[in-house]
Amino acid sequence: MSDRPEPPVGEQTVFIPDPGKTERREPSRPLARHAMVMGYDRDSDDVPRPPAGAAVGSVMMIGATPLLSLIAGVRSGRVTIDLPRLHQRATAAATRFDECLSAGKYDAETRRRARYAVYATIDDIAQNLPASGGRSGTEWARRSMVVRAFGENIGGDRFWALLDDMLSRPAQHAELLELYHACLAVGFEGRHRVSPDGRNKLRAILNSSFAALPQSRGQSDVDLVPHWRGSPKAPPGYGAWTPLTLAASIALGLVLLMLLAYRILLIETGQPATNAVLAINPERPLRLSRAAPPPPTTADAQQQRVAGFLHDEIAQRLVTVEEDANSLRVRTTVGALFRSGSDALEPGRAAIFERIAHALQSEPGPVRVEGHADSDQVHSLTFPDNMALSTARAETVATILRAGLRQPDRVSAQGFGSSRPLTSNDTAAGKATNRRVEIVIPRNEQ
């Protein structure tokens, strides 16, 4: 940036008016705080103004405000003014800006950076106005404010270099960063005006400069929208039922916790009583004394029908079909059908019971599903003992059978736990045999 003596701005610029047009030149006069510019009266704004003496800000920003306000009004279209007149007013305001910087006792480098930012902003906006394409625009480009003050004609590119330098040390350039942020907010774009991604880059730079601003200065106490807070409303009162409801909820929660604790305690301490009841039965498994099978009768046809329908399942050792004097039993092996300790069927095993339901469709009479377990005790919240597990498994099978029969009310379910073993529970094979589900139907002599 040039250090040569800076000529007074605004006294040597001459604009040649277009032929055929005359304009009465008025003497330069200061831009008053509430001046009317070409029919625009700032006093007509409905935005409330802060009280006198309440304004906050640096000396640098106070001095730059008239210049930035003027060029912002021209850019937005609120102020209509031709380029020669704009240049005249801008140079007059720039002179007062220089005086304000000198009165602020800033060092020479700070004053140069502040002047460059404001002058480059005015040049950038003025040279991109719709009316800047004629002779007046050419004259402005030749005698721009940056050219006259600094002898440079590079379109304000130094603005970005200075801003990057100050952003690297924001604490040392707090007032200058505030001024540069104001110039960006007013409309300085520079080379980003024509770059493909210029808008996004400008937005990022504006956000970076704002983030670097010191937040120690106060804000105006004047609300732009006086009624934005709305009407005050007292908080809702609490009725008499609220404490009672809270107390009842706490009491209910405590009762549920106590019930859960008692349930767990019963499972843990009830095993001796269960073992005592089971000890009433003899050690050896009970065996049913069955009468000798009667001579073959026509009832064998029922077993042949059911066994023939379930031929594949019998071959896979998933089910067996047996009969006695009064009933026909379709017996399944639970270990291959149910998950361990659960009443949920293994994947694909529901089809077996659907086949059994089809086989029983033509067999009249009630259908009873019996669940049996081995001697291994089960202790869980869902199944506290073997009786509960065998009942749940019987009910699972009964549900499938009901869905496959035209008369679902024929089906009932009952669990017997480990009270009816078929063989000894001393071996793993014996336990697997005793874990079973039996589907019982009455014999039909047809």
Segment 276-335, tens digit of pLDDT: 776 676 566 666 666 666 555 555 777 788 888 888 888 888 888 888 878 888 888 766
Share of the chain above pLDDT 70, in %: 74
How large is the average pLDDT for residues 116-131? 84
257 falls in which pLDDT band (50, 70, 90)? very high
Q: Whole-number mean pLDDT of the chain?
A: 77
Region(s) of the chain under CATH 1.25.40.590: 36-211
Reported as half-sphere exposure (CB side, CA atoms, 13 A), residue 421 has a value of 23
CA-based nearest residue to 428, from 376, 381, 370: 376
DSSP-assigned letter for residue 170: G
pLDDT for the residue numbered 332: 82
250 falls in which pLDDT band (50, 70, 90)? very high
Report the CATH number of the 36-211 domain.
Answer: 1.25.40.590
How large is the average pLDDT for residues 188-207? 86
136 falls in which pLDDT band (50, 70, 90)? low
Q: Long-range contacts of range 41-47, CB-CB < 8 Å, 24 or more positions apart?
A: 47/224
- In angstroms, the CA 145 to CA 122 distance is 8
Domain 300-442 belongs in CATH node 1.10.287.1770:
no
Reply yes or no on whether the pLDDT at 118 is more than 70.
Answer: yes
252 falls in which pLDDT band (50, 70, 90)? very high
pLDDT for the residue numbered 59: 86
Region(s) of the chain under CATH 3.30.1330.60: 300-442
49 falls in which pLDDT band (50, 70, 90)? low
Sequence-distant (≥ 6) Cβ neighbours of residue 372 within 8 angstroms = 334, 390, 415, 416, 417, 418, 420, 421, 434, 435, 436, 437, 438
DSSP-derived secondary structure for 389-432:
HHHHHHHHHHHHHHHHSS-GGGEEEEE-TTSS-SS-SSSHHHHH
Which of 96-100, 118-122, 227-231, 373-377 is the least confident region? 227-231
How large is the average pLDDT for residues 408-434? 87
How large is the average pLDDT for residues 177-195? 87
pLDDT for the residue numbered 224: 66
CA 329 to chain centre: 58
pLDDT for the residue numbered 11: 43
pLDDT for the residue numbered 18: 45
Reply yes or no on whether the pLDDT at 19 is more than 50.
Answer: no
pLDDT for the residue numbered 131: 66
| Alpha-carbon dihedral sign for residues 339, 342, 343, 347 | negative
Q: Which residue has the higher pLDDT, 37 or 116?
A: 116
pLDDT for the residue numbered 413: 92
Sequence-distant (≥ 6) Cβ neighbours of residue 85 within 8 angstroms = none
45: alpha, beta or left? (left if phi > 0; alpha if psi -120 to 50): beta
